């Protein structure tokens, strides 16, 4: 899976930062079959997602096959300021991994 799958809206307000995050991913379980070929569709889902701010983990999710396509997460954390950077790291069931960044507004 290519980079750029995570869309983030993060806004600092007072001493908190609100984050809304969607991972654009198929989240394929590996249990379905292709209707045309009858072959099993290989599993490909996000297993882990971590969000870091200023070197500290502010959010983590361990996911499995029961998570729907394009998972959405919303959370708050203490701290953060306009212009600060969030770093999102994800691991896929295929072993692929990537890191993406987003600015807090």
Q: Report pLDDT digits (tens) over 6-61.
A: 999 999 999 999 999 999 999 999 999 999 999 999 999 999 999 999 999 999 99
As a whole number of angstroms, the distance between CA 65 and CA 81 comes to 35
Q: Report pLDDT digits (tens) over 67-105.
A: 999 999 999 999 999 999 999 999 999 999 999 999 999
pTM of the model: 0.91
Specify the pLDDT at position 3: 59
| Closest to 57 in 3D by CA, of 39, 37, 30, 77 | 77
């Amino acid at each position: 899976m290519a980079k750029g799958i995570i869309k983030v809206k993060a806004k600092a307000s007072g001493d908190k930062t609100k984050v809304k995050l969607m991972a654009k991913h198929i989240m394929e379980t590996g249990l379905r079959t292709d209707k045309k070929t009858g072959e099993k569709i290989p599993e490909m889902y996000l297993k882990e997602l971590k969000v870091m701010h200023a070197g500290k983990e502010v959010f983590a999710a361990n996911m499995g096959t029961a998570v729907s396509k394009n998972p959405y997460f919303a959370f708050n954390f203490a701290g953060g300021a306009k212009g600060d950077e969030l770093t999102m790291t994800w691991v896929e069931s295929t072993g692929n991994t990537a890191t993406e960044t987003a600015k807090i507004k």
